[in-house]
Amino acid sequence: MAVKIRLARRGRKKAAMYDIVVADSRSPRDGRFIEKIGTYNPLTNPASINFDADKAFDWLMKGAQPTDTVRAMLSYRGVLFRKHLQLGVIKGAITQDVADQRYTTWLDEKNAKIEGKRTDVGAAKDEARKQQLAAETKVREARAEALRQKQAAAAAANAPAAEAPEAAEAPAESTEENA
């Protein structure tokens, strides 16, 4: 029986999530599987990859073949590197302690890199939000200034019109006093 480590789709239309499963290669994509070892959500940034690395490692050592997408995920999380080191231990090229130390070092560096990307994405979102807020504030202030000028012009237009009848009444009164 040929065993594959592959993705099984779930989720609604245009909002796919995937289960990482170990299945017989003859079973359908979303059909029977032997074991579910994790999940994959491509809609987040960076994509959320959660799986049991020990189970994936065990299946790889037993001969399960990952699909191209799952191979990329396993490589991203270091499972393939761990398999490579373990094969070196089995062949006698390195000791188990050296292999564990190399894997731990690599894993720490990779986790720092992933966390750096998360913080960069968050900082970029915050910066974009601040710039958008500043642009909206400029527009709001420009509209408020235009409204103030319009109201001042209307008030100035109303003020001479109000003074004109008073001025017209004043000479009429003076002519009556002279007569």
Range 8-22 average pLDDT: 92
Same domain flag for 7 and 90: yes
Q: What is the mean pLDDT of the chain?
A: 86
Judge whether 176 lies within some domain.
Answer: no
46 plus 102 within the same structural domain: no
User: pTM to 2 decimals?
Assistant: 0.63
Could you tell me which residues come within 8 angstroms of residue 107 by beta carbon, excluding any fewer than 6 positions away? 78
> 12 and 65 share a domain?
yes
| pLDDT reported for residue 119 | 85
3-state SS class at 158: helix
Q: Residue 114 above 60 pLDDT?
A: yes
| Same-domain check for residues 127 and 47 | no
Q: Model confidence at 152, in pLDDT bands (50, 70, 90)?
A: confident
Instruction: State the CATH number of the domain containing residue 67.
Output: 3.30.1320.10
Residue 166: pLDDT band by 50, 70, 90 thresholds?
Answer: low
Find tokens 């007569």 and name the residue: 179
Domain that holds residue 144: 95-157
- What phi, psi does 33 have (nearest 5°)? -145, 160
Alpha-carbon span 135 to 5, nearest angstrom: 49
Whether 60 and 143 share a structural domain: no
